[in-house]
Amino acid sequence: MSGIQQQVQNKQTIKRKKKASTNAIREIKNEQKSTKNIIPVAPFQRLVQEITKDHGGELRIKNEAYQALQTASEDFLVDIFRRSNRCAIHENRETIQPKDLILARELGQNTSY
Protein backbone atom coordinates (compact mmCIF):
# COMPACT_ATOMS: atom_id res chain seq x y z
CA MET A 1 0.00 0.00 0.00
CA SER A 2 1.36 3.37 -0.90
CA GLY A 3 1.66 6.26 1.53
CA ILE A 4 -1.23 8.13 -0.10
CA GLN A 5 -3.61 5.20 0.33
CA GLN A 6 -2.73 4.94 4.04
CA GLN A 7 -3.39 8.65 4.52
CA VAL A 8 -6.79 8.32 2.82
CA GLN A 9 -7.71 5.36 5.03
CA ASN A 10 -6.59 7.19 8.17
CA LYS A 11 -8.66 10.26 7.25
CA GLN A 12 -11.76 8.12 6.74
CA THR A 13 -11.57 6.58 10.20
CA ILE A 14 -11.06 9.87 12.05
CA LYS A 15 -14.35 11.28 13.31
CA ARG A 16 -14.64 14.89 14.26
CA LYS A 17 -16.09 15.68 17.63
CA LYS A 18 -19.08 17.98 17.59
CA LYS A 19 -19.52 20.68 20.15
CA ALA A 20 -22.01 19.87 22.87
CA SER A 21 -24.11 22.87 21.94
CA THR A 22 -24.51 21.84 18.29
CA ASN A 23 -27.42 19.48 18.97
CA ALA A 24 -29.11 22.01 21.23
CA ILE A 25 -28.84 24.74 18.60
CA ARG A 26 -30.23 22.39 15.94
CA GLU A 27 -33.16 21.50 18.23
CA ILE A 28 -33.89 25.17 18.92
CA LYS A 29 -33.90 26.00 15.21
CA ASN A 30 -36.26 23.11 14.45
CA GLU A 31 -38.65 24.16 17.21
CA GLN A 32 -38.62 27.75 15.99
CA LYS A 33 -39.57 26.62 12.49
CA SER A 34 -42.42 24.38 13.64
CA THR A 35 -45.96 25.54 14.32
CA LYS A 36 -47.05 22.59 16.45
CA ASN A 37 -48.04 22.93 20.09
CA ILE A 38 -45.28 22.81 22.67
CA ILE A 39 -47.53 21.45 25.43
CA PRO A 40 -49.36 18.19 24.66
CA VAL A 41 -53.11 18.72 24.13
CA ALA A 42 -54.55 16.21 26.63
CA PRO A 43 -52.56 17.35 29.71
CA PHE A 44 -53.37 20.98 28.86
CA GLN A 45 -57.09 20.18 28.64
CA ARG A 46 -56.96 18.37 31.99
CA LEU A 47 -55.24 21.38 33.55
CA VAL A 48 -57.91 23.74 32.19
CA GLN A 49 -60.67 21.44 33.48
CA GLU A 50 -59.03 21.29 36.91
CA ILE A 51 -58.73 25.08 37.08
CA THR A 52 -62.34 25.61 36.00
CA LYS A 53 -63.53 23.11 38.62
CA ASP A 54 -61.63 24.97 41.34
CA HIS A 55 -62.99 28.37 40.31
CA GLY A 56 -66.49 27.89 39.04
CA GLY A 57 -67.77 24.37 38.95
CA GLU A 58 -68.22 22.32 35.81
CA LEU A 59 -67.99 24.23 32.56
CA ARG A 60 -68.36 22.84 29.08
CA ILE A 61 -65.58 24.05 26.84
CA LYS A 62 -65.42 23.60 23.07
CA ASN A 63 -62.31 22.29 21.36
CA GLU A 64 -61.85 25.65 19.62
CA ALA A 65 -61.75 27.33 23.04
CA TYR A 66 -59.12 24.85 24.25
CA GLN A 67 -57.05 25.55 21.14
CA ALA A 68 -57.35 29.31 21.64
CA LEU A 69 -56.38 29.00 25.33
CA GLN A 70 -53.43 26.78 24.50
CA THR A 71 -52.19 29.07 21.74
CA ALA A 72 -52.43 32.14 23.97
CA SER A 73 -50.77 30.33 26.90
CA GLU A 74 -47.88 29.08 24.79
CA ASP A 75 -47.39 32.52 23.23
CA PHE A 76 -47.24 34.05 26.72
CA LEU A 77 -44.78 31.43 28.00
CA VAL A 78 -42.50 31.69 24.98
CA ASP A 79 -42.51 35.49 25.27
CA ILE A 80 -41.71 35.53 29.00
CA PHE A 81 -38.90 32.98 28.55
CA ARG A 82 -37.51 35.00 25.63
CA ARG A 83 -37.50 38.16 27.76
CA SER A 84 -36.01 36.37 30.77
CA ASN A 85 -33.27 34.94 28.55
CA ARG A 86 -32.42 38.48 27.46
CA CYS A 87 -32.22 39.48 31.15
CA ALA A 88 -29.80 36.61 31.80
CA ILE A 89 -27.69 37.56 28.78
CA HIS A 90 -27.61 41.15 30.02
CA GLU A 91 -25.96 39.88 33.22
CA ASN A 92 -23.47 37.80 31.19
CA ARG A 93 -25.10 34.49 32.13
CA GLU A 94 -26.40 31.66 29.99
CA THR A 95 -28.77 30.19 32.56
CA ILE A 96 -32.14 31.70 33.40
CA GLN A 97 -32.70 32.23 37.12
CA PRO A 98 -35.96 32.97 38.97
CA LYS A 99 -34.98 36.62 39.30
CA ASP A 100 -34.85 36.84 35.49
CA LEU A 101 -38.39 35.50 35.20
CA ILE A 102 -39.62 37.97 37.82
CA LEU A 103 -37.93 40.89 36.10
CA ALA A 104 -39.21 39.84 32.67
CA ARG A 105 -42.74 39.56 34.02
CA GLU A 106 -42.54 42.99 35.66
CA LEU A 107 -41.08 44.62 32.55
CA GLY A 108 -43.70 43.02 30.34
CA GLN A 109 -46.69 44.31 32.27
CA ASN A 110 -48.72 46.98 30.53
CA THR A 111 -48.67 50.26 32.37
CA SER A 112 -51.24 52.95 31.83
CA TYR A 113 -50.14 56.53 32.27
Averaged over 1-10, what is the pLDDT?
61
The domain limits of the chain are 39-110
Q: Please, are residues 90 and 97 in contact by the beta-carbon 8 Å criterion?
A: no
What would the CATH number be for the domain defined by 39-110? 1.10.20.10
pTM recorded for the entire structure = 0.68
**Average pLDDT value for the chain:** 84
Percent of the chain with pLDDT over 90: 50
**What local confidence, expressed as pLDDT, does residue 113 receive?**
43
Q: Please, are residues 107 and 80 in contact by the beta-carbon 8 Å criterion?
A: no
